[in-house]
């Protein structure tokens, strides 16, 4: 097989997965299988009413060969919340944890060395066969843990991103915080338009000038003194990377402000400050340019900012086992 870390993110899969199904009000025992097509009735709930959600987390292989999963408990807890908001059954946190650690162990030979990693994708969807169930939850469900060996997200170097500020919401005031498939479909139109019209890499959704996040990453402003990011509410996904970076920012002596960021303040801040996008895949990606109302606004001098890199480095050093895991974020599978 060709080197998976040289392939586009998410296109190569480790050979084994853990899986269980919910029927007749009970979860089956979970089992390990080869990654193979799943069989679904064409009338399955998820195919019609988008009853699906997922998680995304990583396992790292250190230079001494040891494997660590980053913030397993936080991802398990978020998956429980997503399932509850979609009214889908979900195995207990203990079972979800065991299924994740077991999937990692099953695929341990397929975890690339750091800075590569094993991206772990717990996936849940409704399988009740009933196309009349538009207003009824799916009582049946399938849950599995799929794993994908991935390379360094920035193997081509850190290139500051071009981000279009769009005055619309990504999702809704309640479902923004759910890692639900339908949210990503909703955000596609504006993103494709922004790519075609202004060569943007991402869209920062800012309905009525109220900054939320991009299609799959949280947003933060950073300078020598402070880190500013949106307060937690239902409008956006509560990133584990966001939480980790804010914790490290406090450790490093930055003032952390969680509050609304109106567009005019954002534009003013980035004249001298920095801005970044946070998420499991990229950790913290620098923004070099904002496009707003037909005008380009360069962030600082347009290059990768010093404080963005400092924060990013603090987190990747923990993930790589090069810095002390003082917050207890890593666990062996």
Q: In the bound complex, what is the minimum distance in angstroms from residue 232's beta carbon to ligand PLP? A: 12
Structure tokens at 47: 């195919």
Residue choice 4, 149, 151, 239 for contact with ligand PLP (CB under 6 A): 239
Does 240 sit near ligand PLP (CB under 6 A)?
A: yes
Residue choice 96, 164, 237, 248 for contact with ligand PLP (CB under 6 A): 237
Helix (H, G, I), strand (E, B) or coil at 320: coil
Q: Which residues of 41-71 are buried (b: 16+ CB within 10 A; e: fewer)?
A: eeebbbbbbbbbbbbbbbbbbeeeeebbbbb
Residue 322: strand pairing partners: none
Q: Per CB under 6 A, which region of 11-19, 39-47, 236-244, 303-311 contacts ligand PLP?
A: 236-244
Q: Which of 43, 159, 19 is nearest to 91 (CA)?
A: 19
Decide whether 126 or 239 has the Cβ nearer to ligand PLP: 239
Q: In the bound complex, what is the minimum distance in angstroms from residue 5's beta carbon to ligand PLP? A: 19
Decide whether 211 or 278 has the Cβ nearer to ligand PLP: 278
For ligand PLP, what does the binding mask look like between residues 168 and 187, x meaning CB under 6 A?
A: -----------x--------
Near ligand PLP in 260-289, by CB under 6 A = 278-280
Per the CB < 8 A criterion, the answer to whether 297 and 265 are in contact is no
Residue choice 51, 211, 218, 308 for contact with ligand PLP (CB under 6 A): 218
Q: Count the residues of the shown chain that bind ligand PLP, applying the rule CB under 6 A.
A: 14
Does 241 sit near ligand PLP (CB under 6 A)?
A: yes
Q: What is the DSSP string of 125-187?
A: EE--B-TT-TTS--S-EEEEEEEEEE--TTTT---PEEEEEESS-SS-TTGGGS-BHHHHHHH
Decide whether 22 or 78 has the Cβ nearer to ligand PLP: 78
CA atoms within 13 A on the CB side of 20: 19
Residues that bind ligand PLP (CB under 6 A): 56, 179, 213, 216-218, 237, 239-242, 278-280
């Amino acid at each position: 097989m060709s080197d998976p870390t040289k392939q586009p993110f998410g296109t190569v899969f480790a050979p084994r997965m853990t899986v269980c199904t919910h029927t007749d009000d009970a979860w089956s025992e979970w089992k390990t299988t080869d990654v193979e097509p799943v069989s679904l009735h064409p009338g399955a709930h998820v195919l019609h009413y988008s009853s699906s959600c997922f998680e995304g987390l990583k396992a790292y292989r250190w230079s001494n060969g040891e494997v660590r999963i980053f913030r397993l408990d936080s991802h398990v807890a978020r998956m429980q919340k997503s399932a509850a908001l979609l009214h889908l059954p979900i195995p207990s946190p203990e079972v979800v944890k065991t299924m994740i650690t077991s999937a990692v162990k099953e695929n341990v030979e397929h975890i690339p060395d750091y800075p590569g990693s094993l991206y772990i994708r717990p996936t849940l969807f409704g399988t009740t066969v009933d196309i009349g169930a538009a207003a009824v939850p799916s009582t049946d469900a399938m849950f599995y843990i799929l794993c994908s060996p991935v390379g360094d997200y920035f193997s081509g170097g850190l290139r500051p991103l071009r981000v279009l500020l769009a005055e619309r919401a990504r999702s809704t005031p309640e479902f923004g915080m759910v890692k639900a498939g339908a949210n990503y479909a909703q955000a596609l139109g504006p993103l494709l338009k922004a790519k075609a019209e202004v060569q943007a890499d991402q869209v920062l959704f800012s309905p009525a000038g109220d900054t939320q996040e991009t299609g799959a990453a949280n947003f933060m402003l950073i300078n020598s003194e402070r880190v500013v990011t949106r307060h937690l509410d239902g409008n956006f996904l509560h990133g584990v990377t966001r939480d980790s970076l804010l914790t490290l920012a406090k450790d490093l002596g930055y003032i952390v402000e969680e509050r609304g960021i109106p567009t005019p303040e954002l534009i003013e801040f980035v004249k001298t400050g920095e801005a970044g996008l946070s998420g499991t895949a990229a950790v913290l990606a620098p923004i070099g340019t904002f496009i707003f109302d037909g005008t380009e606004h360069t962030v600082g001098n347009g290059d990768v900012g010093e404080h963005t890199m400092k924060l990013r480095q603090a987190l990747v050093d923990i993930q790589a086992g090069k810095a002390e895991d003082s917050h207890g974020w890593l666990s062996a599978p």
